[in-house]
Structures are given as C-alpha cells and as structure tokens.
Amino acid sequence: MDWHTGIRAAYPDALLTIQGNTLDDLVVTNQETGEPFEFDQALATAAAVIVAQEQALASAKRKRASAYTAEADPLFFKSQRGEATIEEWQAKVAEIRSRYPYPAEVTP
C-alpha cells in the first residue's frame, strides 16, 4: 500500500508532510501548523486504489496506441492495397488488446 499516494489523493488541498512508509512508522503533519494530521485510513486506501487503477489504465492505453501504430496500422493499409486481409488486421487488433488489457474496475 502506497500511503503517500493515498493520503495525497484523499486530501488534495491539504499541505502535508508525510514521513515513513508503513502504517506503523507513518507520521503525517500539517505543514502550516506543524500539528499532527489525522487521516482516514479507509479513505486513503480507496484513493490509492483509484490512483493505481488510473495509472494502469493510462499505461495500457499508451502501450496499445504504440502497438496499433507499429503493428496494426501497417496491416490495415496493406489490406486496403490487397496485400493482406481485413481478418489479419482484426486478428492483430485483438491480439494487441489481449496483450495490453485494460484493468478491471475495482470498487473500494
């Protein structure tokens, strides 16, 4: 669990200093007052899950776009010239989609 990401995502407007990596050694303070900042663990966990999902989706989209450009697009244009079939292009698109699947949505 990435507590830094979860806390920052859960409290985007708070100016916080976060030290430590595990829940046991985590120290979160308000930068303006220096006082300890009490955060909701469930909220931070849910926010971290959402951020991780968004990052995984963005990564899969980038990888798919790159693979479409390098692998599927040339097959499509070959099919337009009669040098390949539409089925070959469709198979390549399906293969790219299975190679870079979108993450399943997780509801915290």
Its pTM stands at 0.74
Instruction: Give the pLDDT score at 67.
Output: 98
For residue 11, give the nearest of 44, 33, 36, 58 by alpha carbon: 44
Q: How many CB atoms lie within 10 A of CB 31?
A: 10
Compute φ and ψ for 103, nearest 5 degrees.
-70, 150
* Mean pLDDT, the chain, integer: 93
Q: Which residues contact 30 (CB under 8 A, 6 or more apart)?
A: 14, 15, 16, 17, 36, 37
- The string of pLDDT tens digits covering residues 71-105 is 999 999 999 999 999 999 999 999 999 999 998 86
